[in-house]
């Protein structure tokens, strides 16, 4: 199963064999592909408690077909832990996790380390494991775009000083304790909440 966040609401792509495991609105992929606007309007009109599922034999191919007219971008980033605190940033007034676009030929792990260094001014973070991969849709340079982001758990043992990359709209980089996670989740994107929840489960 795959989850794509569209305006902070998840659209699920699910294998037809798995539908008995979930409750929600189920629509065959073939119908969805020929009625994209209706699907997107339905997604925004329905409650977050009533998920919308697109059914296909191959959910990954389903994403590619449904978003075939969108620009595709890959990015990478992660949650960095230093002692008992975690690194978060404020980008354009919203709490976020440091991340950025993967450069051509670059490994997602290397990209995560580079982007965190550029956005927060720290170096020598060590990757522990992959937390999750998210997909979300947004406008980039006036075009409908779908972004696939690799999220890693990292450890950092260096100095606590942070330097926010203001050129990227980052006004604050801060080490926060775990008890502040709920507050951050109220002031961030649904996809970031998803990453934080997956991190907490690992």
Output DSSP code: residue 70: S
Residue range 73-201 forms a domain whose CATH class is alpha beta
Query: Does 202 have pLDDT greater than 90?
Result: no
**DSSP string for 109-152:** HHHHHHHHHHHH-----EEEEEEEEEEEEEEETTEEEEEEEEEE
Residue from 116, 123, 98, 6 nearest 54 by CA = 6
Quote the pTM value: 0.94
Q: What is the pLDDT of residue 48?
A: 85
What angle (nearest 5°) sits at the alpha carbon of residue 10, between those of residues 197 and 96? 50
Predicted pLDDT at 144: 94
Cα–Cα distance measured from residue 65 to residue 31, given in angstroms and rounded to the nearest whole number: 12
Tell me: the pLDDT tens digits for 44-95?
998 888 999 999 999 999 999 999 999 999 999 999 999 999 999 999 999 9
Asked whether 50 and 25 are in contact (CB, 8 A), the reply is yes
Tell me the pLDDT tens digit for each residue of 3-57: 999 999 999 999 998 888 899 999 999 999 999 999 999 999 988 889 999 999 9
Rounded CA gap, 13 and 61, in Å? 9
pLDDT of residue 141: 86
Contacts of 37 (CB under 8 A, 6+ apart): none
Q: Is 76 helix (H, G, I), strand (E, B) or coil?
A: strand
Euclidean distance between CA atoms 129 and 78, whole angstroms: 10
Tokens encoding 90? 């404020």
The predicted model gives 167-171 an average pLDDT of 93
Q: Which residues are CB-neighbours of 59 under 8 A, at least 6 positions away?
A: 1, 2, 13, 14, 15
In the chain, list all ranges with CATH 3.90.79.10: 73-201
**Of 50, 61, 68, residue with least CA distance to 16:** 61
Name the 3-class secondary structure at 169: coil
Closest C-alpha to 9, from 146, 143, 191? 191
């Amino acid at each position: 199963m795959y989850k794509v966040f569209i305006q902070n609401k998840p659209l699920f792509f699910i294998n037809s064999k798995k539908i008995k495991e979930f409750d929600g609105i189920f629509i065959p992929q073939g119908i969805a592909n020929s009625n994209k606007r209706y699907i997107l309007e339905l997604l925004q009109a329905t409650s977050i408690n009533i998920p919308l599922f697109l059914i296909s034999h191959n959910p990954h191919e389903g994403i590619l077909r449904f978003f075939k007219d969108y620009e595709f971008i890959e990015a990478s980033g992660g949650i960095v832990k230093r002692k008992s605190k975690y690194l978060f940033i404020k980008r354009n007034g919203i709490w976020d996790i440091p991340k950025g676009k993967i450069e051509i030929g670059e490994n997602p792990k290397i990209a995560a380390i580079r982007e965190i260094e550029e956005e927060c001014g720290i170096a020598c973070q060590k990757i522990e494991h992959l937390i999750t991969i998210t997909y979300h849709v947004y406008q980039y340079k006036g075009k409908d775009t779908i972004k696939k982001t690799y999220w890693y758990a990292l450890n950092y043992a260096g100095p606590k000083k942070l330097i926010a990359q203001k050129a990227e709209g980052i006004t604050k980089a801060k080490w926060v304790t775990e008890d502040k996670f709920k507050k951050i989740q109220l002031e961030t994107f649904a996809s970031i909440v998803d990453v934080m929840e997956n991190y907490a489960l690992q």
